[in-house]
Amino acid sequence: MNFKILADGYNDNNIESEVAAVADKTPIGETTLTDTLGAILIVAEEVYDSMLPERFNYTNVQMFINSSDPTGLIESIKEYQKHTSIANIHIYDVAASNKENMQFVTLISVFFYGFVALIAAICVANIFNTISTSISLRKREFATLKSIGMTPKGFNKMINYESLFYGIKALLYGLPISFGIMYLIYKLLSNSFEFSFAIPWGSIIGTIIAVFAIVGSTMLYASSRIKKENIIDVLKNENI
């Protein structure tokens, strides 16, 4: 692919060149030249000198440096700048920027996931307490069913169906509310960021599994305590 370089104001210095390859990143692998509307040419220094006329005043130079000690390199550049008449230098430290971003993300993650863990623990405790209390209040009901012929297999089947219905009912209320909150957050943030609305299906599936696991394990724990009760003693007890 051939192209022509046209230096503004120097039409007599047009240069025709050939593109050897097209890359999606600089040779170093780091670049801040994103979302640019123009093309970025990567050439050798001698080629660069031959492409522009001598009277073309080009003072804006960008340099990408890969270093194992970026902090020391920046200090050396600043120290060198103090003792020379070199032009003003603007240094963008990618390593320091990435470190600051990671620290910020870590801080936000600690508070966010800590809050989520606290809310989840409270919800699990409420579910456990509600279901255990409900099962305990139905001791006489279960004892009556067993006294008229309900087998342990039938009792387990009833408990399993109740666990399934508890989980489905919770999801029927929770999922629509969650979708509404997600869309509301998306609308609030869409004014500051440009991104499409996406539903995190992986997290939703994990939540559904967790709901059924929590409800099922709580029902099994509560029902195991009921199984140890003597039917006659439960029927004789008038107190709830």
pLDDT digits (tens, 9 = 90+) for 50-68: 766 555 555 566 777 788 8
Q: Is residue 53 part of a domain?
A: yes
Rounded Cα distance between 202 and 195, Å, is 19
Region of 29 please: left (phi>0), alpha (psi -120 to 50) or beta.
left
Examine the fold and report which residue of 67, 102, 121 is the final residue of a domain before the chain moves on: 67
Domain boundary among 12, 45, 67: 67
CA 204-210-214 angle, to 5 degrees, is 150
Tokens of 75: 């200090």
What total of structural domains would you count in the chain? 2
In this predicted structure, the answer to whether residue 110 has a pLDDT above a threshold of 90 is: yes
**Picking from 44-53, 76-85, 166-175, which range would have the lowest pLDDT averaged per residue?**
44-53
Residue after which a domain boundary falls, among 16, 47, 67: 67
| 130 is a domain residue | no
Is residue 141 pLDDT above 60, yes or no? yes
- How many CB atoms are closer than 10 A to CB 153? 8
- Condensed to tens digits (0 to 9), the pLDDT of residues 192-235 reads 777 788 888 888 999 899 889 988 888 888 888 777 777 777 66
| Residue 182 belongs to a domain | yes
Entry pTM: 0.57
Q: Which two tokens stand for residue 149?
A: 């012929």
207 domain-assigned? yes
**In a shared domain, residues 60 and 144:** no
State which residues form the domain around 19: 1-67
Whether residues 139 and 229 share a domain: the answer is yes
* 120 domain-assigned: no
One domain for residues 147 and 227: yes
In a domain, 73, yes or no: no
pLDDT band at 9 (very low <50, low <70, confident <90, very high): very low
> Pick the residue with more confidence: 175 or 65?
175
